[in-house]
């Protein structure tokens, strides 16, 4: 009987491995975390003042990096509003204690659009420190390099994009230290991410585990429950229950009888 149980357990594990092999494939749209990696700091961008700058020139303090495109009909504006909201709620000073850099991943976006977008959000959220929130545009090759370096994976659909929603904490030397997912952010998570960035300490994101059960829906531009992933997690859970109930507990009973 015990051999049958073990063989059954092995079979279940093999099936579950196949499920998670599918889950762990690089997503078509999403984020592959590059914690501890350094950004390509010599990439060139044009800022909202129409100046050509590099990340090396800009990143000299803890930085929150966000990717959007300016004509986005979905997640981008809510993401920037989420960043603005947490800027207002935290007691850190934008431009002094940290900065925010927003990069457009649409090569069609221009410095003129960046200027308009910056004005809209900094007037509302920056608390008089608009220089601490920088908007950048660039060419397609540079966009590929910076999104590839950060693991930010998008997909062009006509003139629009399917894309994830997250911000990235970067240290003063350009090291990626934390990913914060979603379009709203808790002040405590925001401050902790900046503190870790300041100390050059990469940290995995607990919230990423919560997103394990979700996949991006390109039509609705939102995250939806992924049945395959949930099934895999449930299978693993029942495997653990199986091991405890049928394999571990009987051994304890035998020991108790002998004693």
What's the pLDDT tens digit per position in 62-76?
A: 999 999 999 988 889
- Quick: pLDDT tens for 126-167: 989 999 999 999 999 999 999 999 999 998 888 888 888 999
Measured CA to CA, the distance from residue 59 to residue 42 in angstroms comes to 11
Measured CA to CA, the distance from residue 156 to residue 144 in angstroms comes to 12
Which range, of 2-6, 46-50, 219-223, averages the lowest pLDDT?
A: 219-223
The residue with greater pLDDT, 115 or 225, is 115
* Residue 194: pLDDT band with limits 50, 70, 90: very high
Measured CA to CA, the distance from residue 47 to residue 125 in angstroms comes to 19
State both tokens at 99.
Answer: 């900065």
Architecture field, domain 30-217: 3-Layer(aba) Sandwich (3.40)
- Average pLDDT of the residues in 169-192: 94
Pairing mode, if any, of strands 133-137 and 99-104? parallel
- Average pLDDT of the residues in 110-136: 95
**Most confident listed range (10-14, 25-29, 98-102, 245-249):** 98-102
Q: In the block, which residue shows the tokens 């910056």? A: 118
pLDDT over threshold 60, residue 220: no
Give residue 255's pLDDT. Answer: 53
- Average pLDDT of the residues in 167-192: 95
pLDDT over threshold 90, residue 186: yes
Question: Using an 8 Å Cβ cutoff, are 143 and 46 in contact?
Answer: no
């Amino acid at each position: 009987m015990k051999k049958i149980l073990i063989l059954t357990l092995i079979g279940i594990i093999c099936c579950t491995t196949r499920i998670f092999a599918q889950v762990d494939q690089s997503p078509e749209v999403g984020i592959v975390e590059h914690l501890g990696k350094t950004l390509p700091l010599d990439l060139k961008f044009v800022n909202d003042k129409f100046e050509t700058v590099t990340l090396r020139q800009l990143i000299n303090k803890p930085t929150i990096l966000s990717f959007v495109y300016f004509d986005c009909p979905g997640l981008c504006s809510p993401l920037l509003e989420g960043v603005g909201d947490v800027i207002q709620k935290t007691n850190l000073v934008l431009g002094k204690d940290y900065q925010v850099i927003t990069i457009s991943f649409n090569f069609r976006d221009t410095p003129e659009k960046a200027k308009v977008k910056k004005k809209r959000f900094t007037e509302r959220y920056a608390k008089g420190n608009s220089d601490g929130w920088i908007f950048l545009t660039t060419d397609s090759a540079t966009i590929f390099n910076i999104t590839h370096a950060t693991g930010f994976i998008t997909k062009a659909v006509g003139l629009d994009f399917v894309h994830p929603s997250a911000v990235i904490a970067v240290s003063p030397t350009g090291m990626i230290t934390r990913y914060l997912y979603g379009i709203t952010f808790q002040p405590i998570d925001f401050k902790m991410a900046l503190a870790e960035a300041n100390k050059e300490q990469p940290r995995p994101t607990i919230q990423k585990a919560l997103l394990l059960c979700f996949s991006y829906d390109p039509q609705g531009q939102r995250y939806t429950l992924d049945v395959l992933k949930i099934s895999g997690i449930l299978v693993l859970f029942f495997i653990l229950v199986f091991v405890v109930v049928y394999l571990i507990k009987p051994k304890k009973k035998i020991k108790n009888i002998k004693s």
